[in-house]
Structure 1
């Protein structure tokens, strides 16, 4: 594949992240990962079947409606060492559509690798690194890096390295470098979307209490497109925020300020904000909400800029030892600025998901899920809706 693919793959040699949410959320994620307890090496094998219906309103592009079969294998491990905790997760799989998918082969592949590691050098100094790499075909609305439309296989990589130092019991600083990028196999999509981004951030934190901290932060982002000219841009961020834990189960982070974006096409300033809330209602229930507001680098095409709001809520609940349910919603609002070249475009993207799982035995689980996706746009040629139903069986050991 292209040089970007090799660069992103090489990033995996150094380290890796158990999660990558919306691009703007990298600053308020827990860089050290979830190391609450040791988890032994666990393997899982999944087989799944389902029905996928994607209805386009794009001239010359056929909708598809087909059944599919899917299989995969995964492994997870966590070492909650007090000095150097680390964890990893690997998932490999493939999905085969029984009917033809226009422009693509009927088989798509999934490969995801995530790795978190942190090291407490001293009582004051801590370093950590997150890495996440995924090779897949399904768009990710929360990620903010992929196209909204289904455009075949792509490779997305994310790596964050940061150093935190406590100058006193209340005052600390965090310096971080984040690199992320995306590349598509389809030549037409690759020409417009392949890009690599670097984000440097310096954060200053002051603890008001044991549960509340305030922050001031500066960031600089550079985005370079690999196969097209005139789209590269840089952004400066001036932000303030607060981190607060209402209890051991309920915590949140908030950042707000301004983003100063400049490219060969435009020079704009706009509000920037991001928020994340985590609530463990009980041991059986988890709820998470994220939101991000700022300039976006995906699907710019002939537009001068894209300004987006992305938000989502995910809830999981264990009814009893055998039955669990989950539900989620993700929404994105995008304002494309056409300048003097083309008309402005406003888009609304929505994805709803729900599912239920049943533990047949301690190591064997059955699950059913439904997902609905919708894109509403001023440009009718981009609109679509999608329905996906699946039934799966997972064995873990």
Structure 2
């Protein structure tokens, strides 16, 4: 029983405050064995038919060709007492012709670094820290904050630290503290955020395959510019179930209570749901999926269709994503996925310009599809060909667009 309980704690407990290194797809799996240092060197060539999709006027619907060279490394060191997992990637985007939208450049940096460490002090006590930082241009919809391509680069970082303790044969807790930061340059105003969160999760071993959970979370967010500060309190009940050694389901649902610190801000509550699934269906096919529904604090300051800038206290968003990989042969595999992000903007307060004092009921829907082919030429060299389609339908001016991207890449691993 001890081994089963701690295996499930190690596998899924920290999903309640998922690290950005894995985004919303993360379901808590830790490295199972040490892996030697691996280097990756690659180059991607991308054609984009709408490189600045939110641009109005100059730069709107502009196509561009870019090159993306990069170098990366990863390694895992595992002992009976601890696990250290490190990965990094450094690269850049070089446009042959600089996009003409205001604030655009011809060179952008892409950098990511993740450091995860787990220390097992005893069969009862363990400490885990997951840390991630990224400085890049393109949004990754699995992170859970972006819905559209912005003109400028962003810096995103998170540290999530927790202590797990098994109190009895069936009862355990995870208690933690996380800080998340999002910063853009001056070309993307009112979008920076700083959020800290404290959480406690109670875990009850229902069976060798199932754990019941109850989460209490409190988060506080500092907005930038015209965006207000806010806080949220979450009460969530859930279950984590392993259908097999290769298939796991995580579900949590409950209520989110959100308060705005603005003088005329609106307080409210909303259902809150998290769902994550990962399955290695067979030797050839694997699939991952996530869903999240609740009130978000990102990208809440928008210009309304009839003018006036509003800060929306209730941005209710569903994020749904599914991805899969299918190995056709030892040398050839397919990959693909879909992201669907509908959002509703309510309780908008006029914060700049002229217009009604309040604004409600505006909607935005984004669909992102991608499909690709990966080829293994030999033990060192790999190639990829992929197509990405994004469609955004929004009530806000400048946020309705479609976008096509074709990417050809080659990389070496050693």
Same fold (TM over 0.5): yes
Task: Give runs of ≥4 in structure 1 deviating > 6 Å.
Answer: none
Cα displacement string for residues 315-336 of structure 1 (whole angstroms, at most 9, x for unaligned residues): 0122221111111111111011
Displacement after TM superposition at 1:222 (Å): 0.3
Q: Does 1:249 align with 2:266?
A: no
Q: 2:56 aligns with which of 48, 55, 59?
A: 59
Query: Structure 2: any 5+ residue segments left out of the alignment?
Result: 1-17, 302-309, 349-356
Between the aligned partners of 1:241 and 1:391, the Cα distance in structure 2 is 42
Q: Does 1:322 align with 2:331?
A: yes
Query: Matched residue of 2:139: which SS?
Result: coil
Partner of 2:75: 77
Query: What TM-score results when the alignment is normalised by the length of structure 2?
Result: 0.86
Between the aligned partners of 1:372 and 1:273, the Cα distance in structure 2 is 27
Between the aligned partners of 1:152 and 1:162, the Cα distance in structure 2 is 33
Query: Matched residue of 1:381: which SS?
Result: coil
Q: Does 1:336 align with 2:345?
A: yes
Q: Are the structure 2 counterparts of residues 20 and 364 from structure 1 closer, same or farther at C-alpha, using a change threshold of 3 Å?
A: closer
Report the RMSD for the aligned CA atoms in angstroms. Answer: 1.8
Between the aligned partners of 1:60 and 1:199, the Cα distance in structure 2 is 40
Partner of 1:19: 21
Between the aligned partners of 2:114 and 2:370, the Cα distance in structure 1 is 23
Displacement after TM superposition at 1:174 (Å): 0.6
Query: Matched residue of 2:398: which SS?
Result: helix
Is residue 207–residue 214 contact of structure 1 (8 Å, CA) maintained in 2?
A: yes
Partner of 2:290: 290
Is residue 18–residue 88 contact of structure 1 (8 Å, CA) maintained in 2?
A: no
Partner of 1:115: 115
Between the aligned partners of 1:297 and 1:59, the Cα distance in structure 2 is 25
Between the aligned partners of 2:30 and 2:328, the Cα distance in structure 1 is 23
Is residue 18–residue 116 contact of structure 1 (8 Å, CA) maintained in 2?
A: no
Cα displacement string for residues 24-48 of structure 1 (whole angstroms, at most 9, x for unaligned residues): x8xx741xx5312222110010012
Q: Are the structure 2 counterparts of residues 49 and 230 from structure 1 closer, same or farther at C-alpha, using a change threshold of 3 Å?
A: closer
Query: Matched residue of 1:108: which SS?
Result: strand
Is residue 20–residue 143 contact of structure 2 (8 Å, CA) maintained in 1?
A: no
Is residue 93–residue 109 contact of structure 1 (8 Å, CA) maintained in 2?
A: yes
Q: Does 1:352 align with 2:369?
A: yes
Q: 2:45 aligns with which of 46, 49, 58?
A: 49
Cα displacement string for residues 79-123 of structure 1 (whole angstroms, at most 9, x for unaligned residues): 232310111110110111112212211111100001211011111
Is residue 20–residue 132 contact of structure 1 (8 Å, CA) maintained in 2?
A: no
Partner of 1:387: 404
Number of residue pairs the alignment of both structures matches:
373
Between the aligned partners of 1:213 and 1:108, the Cα distance in structure 2 is 44
Query: Structure 1: any 5+ residue segments left out of the alignment?
Result: 1-15
Query: What TM-score results when the alignment is normalised by the length of structure 1?
Result: 0.90
